Structure 1
Amino acid sequence: MKIAFIINDHATEKPNFTTPALGFSAYKREHEVYFIGVGELAYASDGHLSARCKTISGKNFKTQETYFKAVQKEEFTRITSKELDVLFLRNDPSDEINEREWAQNAAFIFGEIATRDNVIVLNHPSSLAGAVNKMYFQHFPEILRPKTIISRDHAEIKEFFAAQKNKMILKPLQGSGGTNVFMMDKKNEHNLTQTIDAICRDGFVIAQEYLPEAKNGDTRLFLMNGEPLKTPDGKYAIMQRVNASGDIRSNIHAGGRPQKVKMNDTILALAEIVRPKLVQDGMFLVGIDIVGDKLMEINVFSPGGLNVMGQMYDADFATEVIKSIEKKVHYNNVYEDYLFNSRLATL
């Protein structure tokens, strides 16, 4: 199959990230793999998606790092949606905030164009467009979520703070990777107005119940086709992300430390509650972040850590993802135009 991955930019994509891991797994399975930066997308006069891309073929690589470094050194070539089987949207819109605002929605818009050529687009582009901020999380059942308000009103946020016994989490509605996440309590209450103002500069503020279990970090679990991702021998794509000393954020890019963690009934029950909406929305590969018996976040754009988990458990999770995509391509070829992209995405 011919599979293209959309990333934010070739200059910022690190060889040890999850997307290069997925690309390397596809490459090892003798597929044609392409990487496209958001800024390299285009709409051709014949009505098809067109893109400048980087690809490599005919060489053997021992690791994903050597593979992707070689890809990055290649000259740009061009590919169109008429040639592709799969377009995997793995760019993170939140990385473009205040930098390249035009790039936040570009992948969804061009992804929709690709579906006209019967290209399988993952995750489903129109659903991603509706999930471009953390409000998407609020559409899941309330029993999953910590108590939350979303507002720009200082008085409302301060009332919530008092109702939470002067302890809560503040973060922006848009963003990821632990950026601008603050824990407010009696010790820093004098900074509450200033903190709300700082977050309000970029939009709405999420004020969220503080969960005591958060001091131990959170648990990242990958879901594929709505189900916990695991290898045939039963190893789950799951890890505990332990906060760096003195930091409430457990994101790996924010200094969090990954650790092994065992699957349990509480996590499986949470995943099962999340599953129906993810399947309905065509969310093929997502990462859910769990604290205690609550979900803190659902990352539907470019969840990371799959390669870290693979090394931690000596498991090839990336290949399981590619195998699932291969089945989707087979279904798409057999049924031709009879299956909607949103359904194919989670078959």
Structure 2
Amino acid sequence: MAPLTIGFLMDPLETVRVDHDSTFALMLEAQKRGHQVRYFEQGWLRFNGTCAEARMRHVTVRRELGRHFDILDEAPRPVSSLDVLFMRKDPPVDAEFLHATQLVELCGTGRPPVFINEPAGLRDANEKLFSLRYPDLMPDTRVTSELPVLLDFIARNAAGTILKPVDGFAGKGILFLSATDRNARSAVDMLTRGGREAVMAQAYIPESRQGDKRILLVDGEPVGGVLRVPSDDDHRGNMAAGGVPQKAVLTPRDLEICERLKPELVKRGLRLVGIDVLGTYLTEVNVTSPTGLVEANQLDDVCVEAKVLDVAERLVAERAAR
């Protein structure tokens, strides 16, 4: 295939961890295949009167701490100048990010790039709420801002309850409360901001002490996974919160969950997704900038980013053939 121009809407390239960052792994794979890599930040995106454009940097990248990229040139370019656009800004999914998903679709008379993931899919698939489409796959769950409902739910879960901000990420703001915890009322009041914001409450799954699985799906198919084991003094397995990555073995139940999700993910153009599974339960569907590629590669002896670029190249070729 002829070289493509592949863009990455992402957080500042200066801040990436070259030995861990999934977006950086995708950039390295694109460059390895001879594609031109351009990067821009959300704040560099704008509408110029006819179409969306951004101040884009053409970069070369290397896995070398401290000097991991060089800027070859920098100039305003229309989004339609890209063959592929990875929308990989880390959460939170706030109003500015939602505006960005709308702007990138405005290509005027130009052709929009192949999006990974599709902007409309990103807007629709809140990482906590999307999984509620499959209540039979999930632990007992409530989403509400009403304090009495949450307190009653906590009191009825003898094994404990996990509370999560609906727009939370990287394990931030996740609390474990026992059924008799005297902090429950205060914690619920704090997380809901006095009953003004909804939170997710889930029955605690004891298997979480053995870790939760981050399973990576490309075009709806599982391609790798990581078991994220919490430290002894924490209930969170997120690697950003100190969880330790270990090899994950996918069970028939894991594969059943993936199969159930696949049609909806493919329909919405959610090509790269990371789902979280605790024991036999689906807990989250991460679509914005799912992590774990580097760890899955190391533990499973796979190359997830190669599978993602295969899909991107295929989609570009299919579009050219139409």
TM-score (norm 1): 0.85
Aligned to 1:312: 299
TM-superposed deviation, 1:173:
0.8
TM-superposed deviation, 1:315:
2.7
What is the correspondence of 1:273-312 to structure 2 with a 5 Å cutoff?
A: 273-312=260-299
What is the correspondence of 1:145-184 to structure 2 with a 5 Å cutoff?
A: 145-165=138-158, 167-184=160-177
SS at match of 1:328: helix
Cα separation, 2, equivalents of 1:166 and 1:265: 26
TM-superposed deviation, 1:333:
0.7
Amino acid in the other structure paired with 1:55: H
What is the correspondence of 1:30-69 to structure 2 with a 5 Å cutoff?
A: 30-45=34-49, 47-56=50-59, 63-65=62-64, 69=68
Give the strand-richer structure, 1 or 2.
Answer: 2
Q: Confirm or deny: 8 A CA contact 1:15 1:68 kept in the other structure.
A: no
From 319, 333, 339, give the equivalent of 2:320. Answer: 333
Could you list the per-position Cα deviations for residues 116-168 of structure 1 after superposition, in whole angstroms to 9, with x for gaps in the alignment? 623212211112112245222212x2211111111111111111112223611
Could you list the per-position Cα deviations for residues 11-31 of structure 1 after superposition, in whole angstroms to 9, with x for gaps in the alignment? 443333000100110001000
Aligned to 2:183: 191
Q: Confirm or deny: 8 A CA contact 1:218 1:250 kept in the other structure.
A: yes
Change (3 A) 1:199 1:75: farther
Instruction: Note the aligned Cα RMSD (angstroms).
Output: 2.2
Change (3 A) 1:196 1:65: farther
Q: How many residues matched?
A: 315
TM-superposed deviation, 1:264:
2.2
TM-superposed deviation, 1:295:
0.6
Q: Confirm or deny: 8 A CA contact 2:212 2:228 kept in the other structure.
A: yes
Change (3 A) 1:15 1:311: same
Change (3 A) 1:301 1:294: same
Could you list the per-position Cα deviations for residues 227-280 of structure 1 after superposition, in whole angstroms to 9, with x for gaps in the alignment? 112xxxxxxx11110001221110111100000122221211111111111112
Aligned to 1:113: 106
Amino acid in the other structure paired with 1:219: K
TM-superposed deviation, 1:114:
4.3
Could you list the per-position Cα deviations for residues 81-126 of structure 1 after superposition, in whole angstroms to 9, with x for gaps in the alignment? 23111111111231x7xxxx55331331123224962321221111
TM-superposed deviation, 1:48:
1.9
Give the helix-richer structure, 1 or 2.
Answer: 1
From 6, 11, 18, give the equivalent of 2:9. Answer: 6
Change (3 A) 1:104 1:7: same
Cα separation, 1, equivalents of 2:159 and 2:304: 42
SS at match of 2:182: helix
TM-score (norm 2): 0.91
Aligned to 2:89: 91
**Contiguous gaps of at least 5 residues in structure 1:** 230-236, 336-347
Q: Confirm or deny: 8 A CA contact 1:288 1:295 kept in the other structure.
A: yes
1:215 maps onto 2:225 in alignment: no
SS at match of 2:85: strand
Change (3 A) 1:266 1:207: same
